Structure 1
């Protein structure tokens, strides 16, 4: 039986949510969820998904959990942007006696999203928290609310970056997919169309710690030989990952596309 995923886009319509720096929370949550839903549809099978609003509609707070409950959703994820001039990322589950499944969903989402945010720069981990939010208290399935940086602090620079929003949305999708153990759509690499050797260059990381985490994530998924590359020799070097040695540019393009989908990084193909 197909798993049912319900995405709650925070705010909407006459309720813009938090507003600052030329940004509206309702617009950002819409984008993040749309990226999440698109990523799931492209990369996984065995599920259905719905959302609390398809566009900029007003949706009553008390009706959001009803939409998920009446549909019989297996997972509920409510996406928000924080305010209060802080920095960083946090997640919430209900403050009552929550199930082990709910805690597991929170753990998977929190880890996946925070790791992705780190790839765009240091991101304070504000923790896995509990609260008496209506959408968490009244839902009948594992439910998590994410607060994705602060709209009214220096965080807003990343919230203006469409690549960042896409990566965060896709991280939400991967967290849900891991929790539900969704089946990945696997097509496999093509046959090479040339005999030249090619490598993939990806990522641009500002510090060695973030770089090491990124290498670890690639190694978890692929068994390629990975080369570290510093792009400058001053006091603030930046790092890239150079990986693989593929026969056929079309094969390298296939794996470059996989990396881009998986991690949201810019990817380049270089002759090896």
Structure 2
């Protein structure tokens, strides 16, 4: 079981960057929750942990301590940027990062940017810095800066669900590729029949039952309830009683004839 630690930056009393009607803490929490849902629902053998799943404040040390204690295989700290002029997307590793962290950053950055390019997002490239989340983590760790809150063009993109989906899909794809996760087997979808269309093999019987008043001719493919079954059997019972009562003399004549045959056999 692979363990992934997703850290939604800021939270609670720390909103992070705020501008253009957006708060960083809210955007990154939405991304983090969705990354967890998609990884666990689409891939086998993966468990995703979150630094926070609600709007709460956590010290940086608390975040990395928990990730290290959990024995996570990788860590992704998700943020939005500010003060970047033209805006864009960038990722960070520690300045003295391991080969594994560099490889993870390259995969993650590439997968996310490939999904952001159609929206005209600027690629600010892969970078290294002395950031706590990357420095104090004992596993390969990458910090993503997902567009600039205070750049109007980026903020407008972050308000579009298709851009949010691109960020989510990119994070999921990069993590899955690095950990070599296998997608869950997709079960074939059973084609549901049209309940208003009668099957060929039952067409004659259905027509006869309709003409004789046992069914109303609608929804031939629908499941029959016990109530509907009772109605059909009661109609059959009524018709049988009518048939019997209408042929009383014929039944008596048949009984008389049977008695005569029986007497002749006894002679």
TM-score (norm 2): 0.69
Q: Distance in 1 between matches of 2:165 and 2:65?
A: 28
Q: Who is 1:149 aligned against? A: 147
SS at match of 1:103: helix
- Check whether the contact 1:93–1:145 (CA below 8 A) recurs between aligned residues: yes
Is the CA contact 1:36–1:171 (under 8 Å) kept in the aligned structure 2?
no
The within-5 A match list for 1:162-241 is 162-190=161-189
Segments of structure 2 that go 5 or more residues without pairing to the other structure are 194-267
SS where residue 45 of structure 1 aligns?
coil
Contact 1:18 1:151 in 2 (8 A): yes
Give yes or no for contact 1:4–1:49 (8 Å, CA) kept in 2: yes
User: Structure 1 residue 44 and structure 2 residue 43: aligned?
Assistant: yes
What is aligned with 1:256?
none
Deviation at 1:192, TM superposition (A): 6.1
RMSD: 1.4
Preserved contact between residue 40 and residue 48 of structure 2 (Cα < 8 Å): no
Partner Cα distance (2:168, 2:18) in 1: 20
Deviation at 1:188, TM superposition (A): 5.0
Q: Cα offset for 1:162? A: 2.4
Q: Report Cα offsets for 1:197-246 as digits up to 9, x if no partner.
A: xxxxxxxxxxxxxxxxxxxxxxxxxxxxxxxxxxxxxxxxxxxxxxxxxx
Match of 1:136 in 2: 134
Conserved in 1, the CA contact under 8 Å of 2:40 and 2:47?
Answer: no
Higher helix share: 2
Residue of structure 2 equivalent to 1:87: 87
What CA deviation, in whole Å up to 9, does each residue of 1:155-181 have, x standing for no partner?
A: 100111123213211210111010000
Q: Do the aligned residues in 2 keep the contact of 1:5 with 1:74 (CA within 8 Å)?
A: yes
Name the counterpart of 2:213: none
Matched, 1:127 2:125: yes
Are the equivalent residues in 1 in contact too, given 2:5–2:50 (CA < 8 A)? yes
Cα distance in 2 for residues equivalent to 1:143 and 1:53: 17
In structure 1, list runs of 5 or more residues that go unmatched.
195-272
Higher strand share: 1
| Partner Cα distance (1:177, 1:7) in 2 | 13
Please give the alpha-carbon distance, in whole angstroms, between the structure 1 residues aligned to 2:162 and 2:41.
Answer: 18
CA deviation map 1:125-153 (0-9, x unaligned): 11100000011111000000000111111
Q: CA separation in 2, counterparts of 1:65 and 1:86?
A: 31
**Equivalent pairs, count:** 191
Q: Secondary structure at the match of 2:164?
A: helix
Contact kept in structure 1, 2:39 and 2:48, CA below 8 Å: no
Measured after TM superposition, the shift of residue 99 of structure 1 is: 1.7
- In structure 1, the residue matched to 2:157 is 158
Q: Distance in 2 between matches of 1:99 and 1:143?
A: 9
In structure 2, the residue matched to 1:262 is none
Q: Cα offset for 1:34? A: 1.1
The yes-or-no answer on 1:11 pairing with 2:10 is: yes
